[in-house]
């Protein structure tokens, strides 16, 4: 082995050691200052919006320079980069002194979530959110290129325009809107931009159909969509033809809807149309 090869070998070994030290240092540094400040701003907004939060929740979220926000409750960070990757803000009203019948709805300021550039999972379920502050809707999250999971279930959203703003978050793989107050015709065309979507749950709402030429067939462009949960709405037989176009589906759940099957074998037609599914429920 000549001298040049040896020098190259030891140079590469030294470089690897530098990288290891750098990674370990980043781990020790903890959360990023911008995200720590962002969490504190978010807490201030939540305290104003949710009265029960004032003296009970998020006690670890403190404004102290030595407090590592990666160790705060409901926060998960990447152990290498220090970036916040999961934010679990579900059921913020869980105060034992807070009476359920006093719960009131409130508006979300989504722009407060923009500092978390590497966020992958956001859970806002069970919070009685009934909308967003004007011009501060979910389209603001379109800059979060890694956001894959968004849980908005068990809230009070009642305006279908939310789907248009959600359509801007093109990185989403899982979208949960179960048990809100959405109703009328399901505007499937608003979600056709979510090309990475794998799971969509709109169960326990008040949807009763789709508009002509704007039904579930508009989701045929979602080549990755495998699970569609439509339970406990008021859908009828009219949606079946458009659903049969979604050949990527592996799971379709339709229980507790309004299906009136005649004596001419319509139920058989449905089963044949969905024969490519691994699982379906009616």
Whether 24 and 79 share a structural domain: no
Model pLDDT for residues 25-81, shown as the tens digit of each residue: 444 467 999 999 999 999 999 999 987 676 567 999 999 888 999 999 999 999 999
Stated pTM of the model: 0.83
Whether 66 and 77 share a structural domain: yes
Whether 2 and 52 share a structural domain: no
Model pLDDT for residues 220-270, shown as the tens digit of each residue: 999 999 999 999 999 988 898 889 889 899 999 999 998 755 445 444 344
Percent of all residues in the chain with a pLDDT value above 70, rounded to a whole number: 77
Whether residue 178 is predicted with pLDDT greater than 70 in this model: the reply is yes
Containing structural domain, residue 37:
32-281
Whether 192 and 246 share a structural domain: yes
Q: For 192-218, b where at least 16 C-beta lie within 10 A, e where not — what string?
A: ebbebbbbbbbbbbebbbbeeebbbbb
CATH of residue 265's domain is 3.80.10.10
Whether residue 282 is predicted with pLDDT greater than 60 in this model: the reply is no
pLDDT given at position 120: 98
Whether 19 and 100 share a structural domain: no
Whether 87 and 125 share a structural domain: yes
Confidence of residue 142 (pLDDT cuts 50, 70, 90): very high
> What integer is the mean pLDDT of 209-229?
91
Whether 116 and 164 share a structural domain: yes
Domain count along the chain: 2
Whether 117 and 241 share a structural domain: yes
Whether 114 and 215 share a structural domain: yes
């Amino acid at each position: 082995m000549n001298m040049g090869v040896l020098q190259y070998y030891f140079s590469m070994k030294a470089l690897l050691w530098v990288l290891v030290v750098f990674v370990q240092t980043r781990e020790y540094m903890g959360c990023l200052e911008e995200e720590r400040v962002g969490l504190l701003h978010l807490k201030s907004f939540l305290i104003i919006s949710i009265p029960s939060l004032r003296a009970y929740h998020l006690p670890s979220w403190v404004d102290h320079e030595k407090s590592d926000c990666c160790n705060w409750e409901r926060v998960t960070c990447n152990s290498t980069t220090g970036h916040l990757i999961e934010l679990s803000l579900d059921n913020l009203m869980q105060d034992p002194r807070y009476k359920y019948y006093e719960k009131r709805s409130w508006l979300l300021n989504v722009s407060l979530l923009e500092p978390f550039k590497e966020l992958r999972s956001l859970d806002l379920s069970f919070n009685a959110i009934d909308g967003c502050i004007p011009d501060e809707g979910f389209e603001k999250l379109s800059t979060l290129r890694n956001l894959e999971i968004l849980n908005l279930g068990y809230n009070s959203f009642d305006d279908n325009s939310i789907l248009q703003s959600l359509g801007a978050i093109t990185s989403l793989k899982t979208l949960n809107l179960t048990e809100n107050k959405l109703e009328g015709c399901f505007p499937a065309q608003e979600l056709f931009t979510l090309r990475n979507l794998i799971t969509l749950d709109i169960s326990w709402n008040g949807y009763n159909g789709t508009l002509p030429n704007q039904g579930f067939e508009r989701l045929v462009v979602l080549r990755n969509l495998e699970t569609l949960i439509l339970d406990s709405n008021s859908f009828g037989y009219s949606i079946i033809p458009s659903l049969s176009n979604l050949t990527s589906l592996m799971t379709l759940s339709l229980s507790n809807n309004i299906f009136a099957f005649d004596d001419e074998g319509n139920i058989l037609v449905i089963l044949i149309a969905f024969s490519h599914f691994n699982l379906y429920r009616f």
